[in-house]
Amino acid sequence: MLQTIDFDVFEVKPGEVMVDVGCGTGRHSLTDKICDATIISLDKDEDCLEEIEYKLGGPQKHHNGNRIYLIRGEALKLPFPDQSIDMVVCSEVLEHISSFEDCLTEIHRVLKPGGNLAVSVPTHFSEIFIDALADEYLGKSGGHVHVFKRKELIEIVENNGFKIWETDAGHSLHFFYWLLRAFFGIEEEDNLIPNIYRSFLENIDGSEFWETVEDNLNKLVPKSTIIYAEKA
């Protein structure tokens, strides 16, 4: 439930190379649903990469049989050769980038022919709702500078050289986390109540019961629009 991308749908096979663009603190890079692959965690924030290293327990950079590489870099200038990557995750990143289509162009460049992309952004509903509660949520430098409607995101992905093979809406339990953040102050990252709820989400991660709850809530208040696509 901490992950927006469903790795039962977006299957990374042993031996493949996956890049987690804008990896944050590693919620997708450190999944237990991938094994014996190479995972490259890329983010421009050194603190995020250091937190991943801390979660790995040191410099060995292995998790669940996967070799993990931590790279500080920009989504608009990926440090990989053309057609060198099997799979790319770009989750909750495009809304932060003013030139988001350039990011998709870079991902298309580095993917092998037939390579796959999983991309997610906050839903239009969740962004507008949270923005109504919070001061300076949308449009703030470093924050969310774009709001995407589902149809718009589909067109953008297709127009940048991808063939979509599945779409989804999910991550609804995190919608309530951001509601709490908005209510108690979007900038107050250390506020007790949102952090208690965040700890709750971490503790129930992998619970079949709560996965069922979230699946049902996704029909009502999905936090994210998710697209799975192949390089055309």
DSSP string, 75-139: TTB--S-TT-EEEEEEES-GGG-TTHHHHHHHHHHHEEEEEEEEEEEE-HHHHHHHHHHSTT-BS
d(CA 2, CA 170): 11
Question: Are the beta carbons of 217 and 172 closer than 8 angstroms?
Answer: yes
Tens of pLDDT, residues 39-62: 999 999 999 999 999 999 876 789
Evaluate whether the domain defined by 17-123+132-171+223-231 bears CATH number 3.40.50.2300: no
Domain boundaries, the chain: 17-123+132-171+223-231
Which residue from 116, 95, 82, 123 is spatially nearest to 22, judged by alpha carbons?
Answer: 95
Tens of pLDDT, residues 179-221: 999 899 888 888 999 999 999 999 998 899 999 999 999 999 9
Question: In 206-225, which positions are buried (b, 16+ CB within 10 angstroms) versus exposed (e)?
Answer: eeeebeeebeebbeebbbbb
